[in-house]
Amino acid sequence: MPDHQEPSGERVRLGVDVGGTFTDLVAVDPDGGVRFAKVPSVPTDPSDAVLAAVAAAGLAPTQVGTFAHGTTVATNTLLERAGARTALVTTRGFRDVIEIGRQNRPSLYDLTRDRPPSLVPRELRFTVAERCGPTGVIEPLRDEDVARVVEEVAAVPDLAAVAVCLLFSFAFPAHEQAVATALRRRLPGITVVASSEVLPVFREYERFTTAVADAYLTPGLSTYLRRLEHRCARRSLTVPMIMQSSGGVTELAEAAGHAARCVLSGPAGGVVGAAYVAGLSGVRDLLTFDMGGTSTDVAPVLGGRALTTSESVLAGVPIMLPTVDVHSVSAGGGSIAWADAGGALRVGPRSAGADPGPACYGRGGTRPTVTDADLYLGYLADGAGLGGEVTLSRAAAEAALSGLGAELGLTPAQAAAGVVAVADAEMTRALRVVSVERGIDPRELVLVAFGGAGGTHACALAEELGMSRVLVPLAAGVLSALGLAIGDVRRDHARPLIGRLGEVDLARAFADLAADATADADAATTTTTTTTTATATDAAASAEPGQASEESPAVLQRRVDCRYAGQSHELTIDVAEPEDAELREAEAGDAVGAASMAQAVRVAFEAEHLRRYGHIAPEREIETVAVRLVVTVRGPRPVPVAPPADPTVRRGRRQAWLDGAWQDVDVVPRAALGVGDVVAGPAVVEFAEATCLLRPGWTGTVDDVGTLVLTRQL
């Protein structure tokens, strides 16, 4: 793999986000200057769009220092069930675990709803005679049984991947490792994933599904990333880092080997970017609202940090890897509006995508979409260009909406307003899921709107939620790419620790986990010259928890999964470093230090339990389930420079549909606004890659970093 180039004072930090409709690029100069590019995505080969975006930005390979990439390849592969032909090897008697699953159903009262099919059909599930329990080996694994199952797997035609998932391998991995090693020797050309390597924690169903998903997705993502790596190398372009679902970037080789870590790569970049720009404006508690062409992604950020979860479900598949807590709905600009059999207006889940796109793109699409409705209602400009290759046509949007209106007995304006209302309702519900349903009052937060369509719908959503402030960043249309450009290098490590709080040795568990992290990073360093990997090695070996220094920009975050005794699900709690130096030293085995750590965990757990569920049970024992260590290497984060107002840009006026009637609104190019300038609604502010609609009663002010801060009088 080519070396990563060291950034110099002249080189830029590059982020490229491949979405379902457009591919976005942001280049951040060392002095804070930012440039954008947007090109249509190429579903057949996303790397075409990545390189086209670099070319559109006018960047020479020698100008690029660091390069981070967010991709939807793994996401789309899982959604479309288009992954590799995968087999499963498991303990005898347990090959149907991934089919049986849990008793919970996505729709409680829908008795006819089928579960999504398993990623591995039953005929491709193989078993070995072995058994481990919570205390060790119950039935030894025999060499002849390993040889038998390896030959059975080898006989499967067109096989591309194998997941090895044995009972209790998270605690006793020897059997699982023996099977995986034998498979790798016999089948060197296929992907072999051992669950103890991907997710060494308890709960066999979720551990099995995560490992199976990793095996199922890895061949396809690896092929794409290796092709991108080769094409970048041919152009002397820095090989990109890849955004993980956790919100941190990792080396291309690491991502190519474990695709399940990247299933929410693109949305994670958006959350990172939103938290960053909001922090520059003094906002640390927010809801992110990313409305793109295909879907809308929302997430909470508290205290300047995105919330993460280890209990994600994507396309019906539980994936228990650290993931930014993003909730997605199929209500993007390209979502198709239609009338159901009962005559009700529906929006999504089908999308017009990048090709042919909404009707107003003039590329062959005839079905009305949210973008068509926004254009017809005056929120977007007739004749505006998108991505350098698309020109919006209001006449084409009107034709598509007229057909929908005829089905519903509505005028085109009424049909368009209905489409927007339905989409807004769907997105409002999504924001409630990540706020109200998690014990967070949205009225106390700020909405950060981005994506090509986020600013167009933000005020309406804020009004529904009782929110009074909205931030629309200067890079709103490409903010996910900005998040990639400034993302931290991150590695996550976990190991089981099952017992009662106060009885388990948390300090020893964290010390052992840090040793594992150091060994893992050392192994990675032997296969790549990436300097960030070496930094991660140093971090795991020497950095203090929760601290960074001039010598090492690394931070270690210690976390523990806890629950009340008898509960079946956990909360992940940060374990803060004691402020007192003596207690820090005592943590390594002293009873006083251990008691202090246990008490700190109890206080933090009950505070989070109260916030999340509204109650605590002080009389109940608290159990630990797993310990986690997050190694983060922070890179430089230049502060974007707000451009001055361009006096040559002309403002205008046009009609827009607001509150059931056509109204005259001001049209203000974003380039016409400098720091401190104010815009009063109703108005439309046109960014280079996005549009912001200020509804009546809203006022926008440009702050020191170029963010448009919208406020509403309550």
DSSP string, 166-197: -TTTTT--HHHHHHHHHHHHH-TTSEEEEHHH
Q: Where are the beta strands (DSSP E) in 72-200?
A: 86-91, 125-128, 131-133, 136-139, 161-165, 191-194
Distance (Å, rounded) from C-alpha 120 to C-alpha 190? 16
Architecture (CATH level 2) of domain 84-221: 3-Layer(aba) Sandwich (3.40)
Q: Among 119-123, 242-246, 294-298, 600-604, which is the least confidently predicted range?
A: 294-298
Looking at residues 473-495, what average pLDDT do you find? 90
pLDDT of residue 547: 52
Largest CA distance in the chain: 81
Looking at residues 378-403, what average pLDDT do you find? 88
Which one, of 443, 419, 418, lies nearest residue 431 by Cα?
A: 443
Q: 593 vs 275, which has greater pLDDT? A: 275
Looking at residues 419-447, what average pLDDT do you find? 94
Rg (CA), the chain: 26
Q: How many other C-beta atoms are found inside a 10 Å radius of the C-beta of residue 181? A: 14
Residue 592: pLDDT band (50, 70, 90) is low
Burial class (CB in 10 A: 0-12, 13-18, 19+), 492: buried
Helices and strands (DSSP H and E) totals, the chain: 18, 37
**Residue 524 pLDDT > 70, yes or no?**
no
Residue 593: pLDDT band (50, 70, 90) is low
Reported pTM: 0.86
Q: What tens digit of pLDDT does each residue of 271-295 get?
A: 999 999 999 999 999 999 999 888 8
In the chain, % of residues over pLDDT 90: 58
Residue 578: pLDDT band (50, 70, 90) is low
Looking at residues 341-360, what average pLDDT do you find? 86
Looking at residues 445-469, what average pLDDT do you find? 96
Query: Structural domain boundaries of the chain?
Result: 84-221, 335-422, 491-633
Q: What is the dihedral of CA 102, 105, 108, 112, to 10 degrees?
A: -120
Distance (Å, rounded) from C-alpha 211 to C-alpha 169? 12
pLDDT of residue 689: 83
Residue 41: pLDDT band (50, 70, 90) is confident
Which one, of 332, 446, 289, 384, lies nearest residue 667 by Cα?
A: 384
**Residue 588 pLDDT > 70, yes or no?**
no
Going by their DSSP bridges, the two strands 286-291 and 446-450 should be labelled as: parallel
Q: What tens digit of pLDDT does each residue of 84-134 get?
A: 999 999 999 999 999 998 877 777 777 777 778 899 999 999 999 999 999
* Angle between helix 412-433 and helix 394-408 axes, rounded to 10 deg: 90
**Residue 579 pLDDT > 70, yes or no?**
no
Which one, of 411, 421, 416, 384, lies nearest residue 397 by Cα?
A: 416
Q: How many other C-beta atoms are found inside a 10 Å radius of the C-beta of residue 601? A: 22
Residue-averaged pLDDT of the chain: 87
Looking at residues 469-487, what average pLDDT do you find? 92
pLDDT of residue 332: 87
Q: 25 vs 348, which has greater pLDDT? A: 25
Residues in contact with 570: Cβ distance below 8 Å, sequence separation at least 6, in sequence order: 561, 562, 563, 625, 626
Q: Among 213-217, 336-340, 373-377, 552-556, which is the least confidently predicted range?
A: 552-556
Looking at residues 57-82, what average pLDDT do you find? 86
In this structure, are residues 451 and 476 in contact, taking their beta carbons and an 8 Å threshold? yes
**Residue 672 pLDDT > 90, yes or no?**
yes
Which one, of 40, 44, 64, 65, lies nearest residue 54 by Cα?
A: 64
Coil, helix or strand at residue 283: coil
Q: Where are the beta strands (DSSP E) in 387-430?
A: 390-391
Looking at residues 582-596, what average pLDDT do you find? 58
Looking at residues 395-419, what average pLDDT do you find? 95
In this structure, are residues 498 and 634 in contact, taking their beta carbons and an 8 Å threshold? no
